[in-house]
Amino acid sequence: MTGESLEAETVLELAGVSRSFGGAVPVRAVDDVSLTVRAGEIVALVGSSGSGKSTLLALMGALDVADLGAVRIAGHDVSGMTDAHRSAVRARFVGFVFQQFFLLPTLSAVENVALGLLYTGTDARTRRSRAALALERVGLGARLAHRPSQLSGGEQQRVAVARALVGEPSLVLADEPTGALDSVSGAGVMRLLQSVAGRGTAVVVVTHDREIAGALDRRIVLSDGRILSDETRRVAAAHAAGVGSPSETEGHV
């Protein structure tokens, strides 16, 4: 990491972000989190159940609003935005992937993927052709007309990834994307997300699978809403510099 400049563009920036939930005993689900994610980076967000991973991911994607602190996505400070503008940031710059896929059962794969462009005001024909391309990109070019029920779990999640990618977002946020999959399909989805990062998109993956987390370049550990550690593997930097040892990378990729 010397002068050869890995200074990729900053896609996501959180500064002193907190989020509490009311109730008899208020819970500070995210507590004073600051971090930066650059284009092309893939980050594992780990921590025990209830540590605030999902809440933090929602804040990163402008799906929720922080009580304190600032969130900047692709250069846009979303903290003071109206719902309409915050929604536009999600539509244009963020792609979400969820554990439960959230595919609409009555729509075909390509129609589900096209939903990813619905709220950008793109016309229907463009949406469809771009959705078809996105499905090809995730290896499902032959499954355009299939309903979710006709697809395996791994295929369904890849449709969901295609839906997240179809708008060519700067940031992809995945909340336990392999949580509902067997390990083989899960590995396939992770490979896919890594290739997404490889094309310059910033990717954050919430997981509590140690193996998966271990395969990623950077790992942020969350505990009680606070960042416990935020480590970028030396090997990643080394790999980027072209001196990575093959044995450390081939196992998972």
Ligand X SMILES: Nc1ncnc2c1ncn2[C@@H]1O[C@H](COP(=O)(O)OP(=O)(O)O)[C@@H](O)[C@H]1O
- Strand-by-strand arrangement of the 27-38 sheet: 27-38, 10-21, 68-73, 76-77
CA dist., res. 51 & res. 227, Å (int): 10
- Of 96, 157, 181, 220, which lies in the binding site for another protein, with binding defined by CB under 8 A? 96
For residues 35 and 232, the answer to whether their CB atoms sit within 8 Å is: no
Contact string (CB under 8 A) for another protein, positions 38-77, x = contact? ----------------xx--x--x-xx---xxx-x-xxxx
For residues 14 and 35, the answer to whether their CB atoms sit within 8 Å is: yes
- Of 14, 40, 41, 54, which lies in the binding site for Mg ion, with binding defined by CB under 5 A? 54
- Of 56, 89, 135, 151, which lies in the binding site for another protein, with binding defined by CB under 8 A? 89
Applying CB under 6 A, which residues contact ligand X? Answer: 21, 27, 29, 47, 49-55
Nearer to Mg ion, 54 or 112 (CB): 54
Residue 52 contact among Mg ion, another protein, ligand X, none, beta carbon within 5 to 8 Å by kind: ligand X
Q: What is the dihedral of CA 196, 91, 61, 212, to 10 degrees?
A: -20
For 1, the 3-state DSSP assignment is coil
- Of 53, 158, 163, 218, which lies in the binding site for another protein, with binding defined by CB under 8 A? 163
Around Cβ 132, how many Cβ atoms within 10 Å? 19
Residue 27 contact among ligand X, Mg ion, another protein, none, beta carbon within 5 to 8 Å by kind: ligand X
Residue nearest to Mg ion (CB): 54
- Strand-by-strand arrangement of the 171-175 sheet: 94-98, 171-175, 202-206, 42-46, 218-223, 226-232
Show the 3-state SS of 39-108: CCCEEEEECCCCCCHHHHHHHHCCCCCCCEEEEEECCEECCCCCHHHHHHHHHHHEEEEECCCCCCCCCC
DSSP conformational letter for 162: H
Tokens linked to 215: 């395969």
Contact string (CB under 5 A) for Mg ion, positions 7-46, x = contact? ----------------------------------------
CA dist., res. 53 & res. 226, Å (int): 10
Residue 70 contact among Mg ion, ligand X, another protein, none, beta carbon within 5 to 8 Å by kind: another protein
Question: Does the protein bind another protein through residue 129 (CB under 8 A)?
Answer: no
Q: By CB under 8 A, which span of 82-90, 129-137, 139-147, 196-204 interacts with another protein?
A: 82-90
Closest contact distance (angstroms) between CB of 75 and ligand X is 26
Instruction: Kindly identify the residues of this chain, within the stretch 188-217, that bind another protein according to CB under 8 A.
Output: none
Which stretches of the chain bind another protein, using CB under 8 A? 13, 15-17, 32, 54-55, 58, 61, 63-64, 68-70, 72, 74-77, 79, 82-85, 87-92, 96, 98, 100, 102, 104-107, 115-116, 118-121, 123-124, 163
